[in-house]
A and B are shown apart, each in its own frame.
Chain A
Amino acid sequence: MKAPPFFLGAILLFWGGQMKTLWFALIVAVILESARLVKVKFELTPSDVNKFVDISIILLAGTIVMALTIENQKALSILLKWLPLIFFPIMAVQQFSTTGKIDLRSFFLGGRKKVEDLFYEPKTIDVSYIYSLFCLFSAGTAKPEGLVFYSAVSLFFTWALWQVRSKRFSCWVWAGCILGILISGYGVQKSLRMAAWTINRWMIQYYADYYTTNPFKTHTALGEIGKFKLSDKIMLRAWSDAVMPGETFLLHTATYNKFILSNWFIRSRFESIVPSEDFPSLWQIHPPVNETKKMTIYFRQGQKTIVLSLPFGVISISEMKVGQCEKNELQVIRIAGGPSLIKGVVSYTGQLTYDAPPDDHDFLIPKKEKNALAAIAAELSLENKSDEEILTCIKQYFLTHYTYSLDLKGKGEAQTPLLNFLRHTKAGHCEFFATATALLLRQVNIPARYATGYMAHEYSRLENQLVVRKRDAHAWVKVYVDGQWKNFDTTPPSFIKIDSQNIAVSRVTDLFSFLGFKLSQLRHETGEKLMNQYGVWLIVPLAGILFFRLRKTNRIKRARMPGTPGENKKQRPGDLSFFPVETLLSQKGFPRYPHETYSAWFGRIDPYFGSRDIMDHLQPVLLLLNRHRFSKHGLNKQEKKKFESCLNRLLKTVIQDLPLAQVDGDIKSVI
Chain B
Amino acid sequence: MEESNIRWAHDIFNRLSVNIETVIKGQKACIRYILAGFASGGHILLEDNPGTGKTTLAKALAKSIDADFKRIQFTPDLLPSDILGVSVFDPSQKVFTLHKGPVFTHILLADEINRASPRTQSALLESMAEGQVSIDGNQLNLAGLFFVIATQNPIESRGTYPLPEAQMDRFAMQLQLGYIAREDEVAVLTEQRQTHPIQTLTPCVSLEEVSRLRHMVNQVFISRELKEYMVDLVTATREAPGVLLGASPRASITLMRTASALALFDNQAFVTPDHIQEIAVSVIAHRLVLDSQLRFSGVTARFLVEDILTSIPVPV
Contacts and interface: CB of A to CB of B under 8 A. Distances in A.
Interface string A85-113: 00000000000000000000000000000
A560 B277 CA distance: 20
27 contacts: A118-B241, A119-B241, A560-B313, A568-B313, A568-B315, A569-B316, A595-B311, A595-B313, A597-B272, A597-B273, A597-B274, A597-B277, A597-B316, A600-B274, A600-B277, A626-B268, A626-B270, A629-B223, A629-B315, A629-B316, A630-B223, A630-B225, A630-B226, A630-B272, A631-B221, A631-B270, A632-B270
Given A566-B313, A595-B314, A630-B226, 5 more contacts: A569-B316, A594-B313, A597-B273, A630-B271, A630-B273
Contacts of A578: 316
Interface string A122-144: 00000000000000000000000
Contacts of A594: 313-314
Contacts of B222: 630
Nearest to B313: A594
Nearest to B226: A630
B123 to A, nearest CB: 41
A569 B225 CA distance: 13
B269 interface: yes
B309 A595 contact: yes
A569 B222 CA distance: 19
Contacts of A631: 221, 268-270
Contacts of B269: 631-632
Contacts of A569: 316
A351 to B, nearest CB: 90
A631 B224 CA distance: 11
A567 interface: yes
Contacts of B274: 597, 599-600
B312 interface: yes
A239 interface: no
B310 interface: yes
A593 B310 contact: yes
Contacts of A632: 221, 269-270
B314 A567 contact: no
Nearest to A595: B310
Interface string B254-276: 00000000000000111111100
Nearest to A599: B274
A454 B225 CA distance: 93
A655 to B, nearest CB: 17
A597 B314 contact: yes
Interface residues of A, number: 22
Interface string B298-316: 0000000000011111111
Contacts of B273: 597, 630
B312 A595 contact: yes
B270 to A, nearest CB: 4
Interface string B55-67: 0000000000000
Main secondary structure of the interface of B (DSSP, over half): loop
A595 B226 CA distance: 13
A666 interface: no
A578 B273 CA distance: 15
Nearest to B273: A597
Contacts of B309: 595
A586 to B, nearest CB: 14
A594 B311 CA distance: 8
A421 B276 CA distance: 118
A466 B310 CA distance: 85
Contacts of B312: 595
> Of B222, B223, B272, B315, which is in contact with the most chain A CB atoms at under 10 Å from its CB?
B272
Interface string A565-601: 0111100000000100000000000000111111110
A238 to B, nearest CB: 75
A302 B160 CA distance: 90
Nearest to A632: B221
Contacts of B314: 594-597
B272 A626 contact: yes
B124 to A, nearest CB: 36
A566 B229 CA distance: 14
A630 B270 contact: yes
A599 B226 CA distance: 16
Contacts of B271: 630
Nearest to B272: A626
A165 interface: no
Sort A-B residue pairs by CB-CB distance and give the 8 closest, nearest first: A594-B313, A631-B270, A632-B221, A597-B273, A595-B310, A566-B313, A626-B272, A630-B270
B174 to A, nearest CB: 23
A627 interface: yes
Interface string B134-168: 00000000000000000000000000000000000
A444 B175 CA distance: 131
Contacts of A568: 225, 313, 315-316
> Of A119, A569, A596, which is in contact with the most chain B CB atoms at under 10 Å from its CB?
A596
Interface in A20-73: none
Contacts of A118: 241
Contacts of A598: 316
B218 to A, nearest CB: 14
A630 B272 CA distance: 6
A119 B274 CA distance: 34
A335 B311 CA distance: 75
A120 to B, nearest CB: 12
Interface in A588-621: 593-600
A599 B277 CA distance: 11
Nearest to B308: A595
Interface string A537-576: 0000000000000000000000010000011110000000
A114 to B, nearest CB: 16
B114 to A, nearest CB: 34
A514 B115 CA distance: 92
A626 to B, nearest CB: 5
A612 B210 CA distance: 43
Contacts of B268: 626, 631
Contacts of B226: 630
B223 to A, nearest CB: 5
Contacts of A595: 309-314
A569 B313 CA distance: 11
Contacts of A630: 221-223, 225-226, 270-273
Given A118-B241, A632-B221, A627 B270 contact: yes
Contacts of A596: 314
A151 B310 CA distance: 62
